[in-house]
Amino acid sequence: MYADRVTDSMQRAIEETTRRRAMQEQFNRDNGITPESVKKEITNILDTVYEADYATVPMVAEPEEK
């Protein structure tokens, strides 16, 4: 947060964040959890747009001539 001064509402938000962070860290210690970053492949968002736009049209047999 950027400001010339910390307002009361900003201070309450900071304190709540600190409180929740402390609770999470205690929970992690109690349960032997080591936080890890999410490792996910970076994909090109345009690929999914083009795939969603792609459709296969089924072939229909032509009628037989008599």
- Cα 21 to Cα 7, 17, 36, 42: the distances in Å are 21, 6, 15, 28
Torsion of CA 48, 49, 51, 52, to 10 degrees: 110
pLDDT class of 30 with cuts at 50, 70, 90: very high
Look up residue 31 and give its DSSP letter: T
Please give the pLDDT value at position 64. Answer: 77
Residue pair 27/35 in contact (Cβ under 8 Å)? The answer is no
Give the chain's mean pLDDT.
85
Please give the pLDDT value at position 66. Answer: 67
